[in-house]
Amino acid sequence: AQSVTQPDIHITVSEGASLELRCNYSYGATPYLFWYVQSPGQGLQLLLKYFSGDTLVQGIKGFEAEFKRSQSSFNLRKPSVHWSDAAEYFCAVGADTGGFKTIFGAGTRLFVKA
Amino acid sequence: GAGVSQSPSNKVTEKGKDVELRCDPISGHTALYWYRQSLGQGLEFLIYFQGNSAPDKSGLPSDRFSAERTGGSVSTLTIQRTQQEDSAVYLCASSLGGWQFFGPGTRLTVL
């Protein structure tokens, strides 16, 4: 069965510092992987996705993520965090099994300090 | 419409009452999902519709929960005999190519 683990419930980083949010998944085949962001009072927005090909994917707002099959990971990174990045981040794994059921992790809340 | 819409945006009900939550997906999107997000929690998958296939109901927490999707478009999530633990934000999403576009959610409060 699919599952997604985000080990960090919350992370605090200083503005301008680098960021890495961890995501590990469990799936029997090559998964489709996603990162979504939910800002306070906002809906969920897709940051980036991995379906196939280059394992380093670029997303919006300067985010990137790297798919590492050997580690079953899809960590999200940003070289320099801005205060506006404070939000909840969700990793998700999907499977194209005739449909596209997607399972979300529990989320990591990012706090940015000045 | 331009995005996924949900109604109502807020719903307050009394324990034991039935509620209906509506989702209008993006036109042309074949897949529609319902999730529940409790305070401070992640997204809990509830149900998934894909085209004309039988829905995946594996996430529905009890038989008080049901959903339908009429004409491959609008969907209604129904919660019967609501309980206080049903209080949450109910999110709908639609997709065409795998990644999902989310609606703003319906905040349900059961008193």
Probe site for chain A from B23, B100, B101 (most A CB atoms < 10 A) = B100
A102 vs B56: CB contact, 8 Å cut-off? no
pLDDT tens-digit readout, B12-52 = 999 999 999 999 999 988 889 999 998 767 788 899 898 88
Q: Is the pLDDT of residue A99 over 70?
A: no
How many angstroms separate the Cα of A43 from the Cα of each of A91, B61, B101? 15, 23, 9
pLDDT tens-digit readout, A67-98 = 999 999 999 999 999 999 999 999 998 866 54
Q: Which of A49, A101, A104 sits opposite B43 (nearest CB)?
A: A104
Q: Which residues contact A86 (CB under 8 A, 6 or more apart)?
A: A39, A40, A110, A111, A112
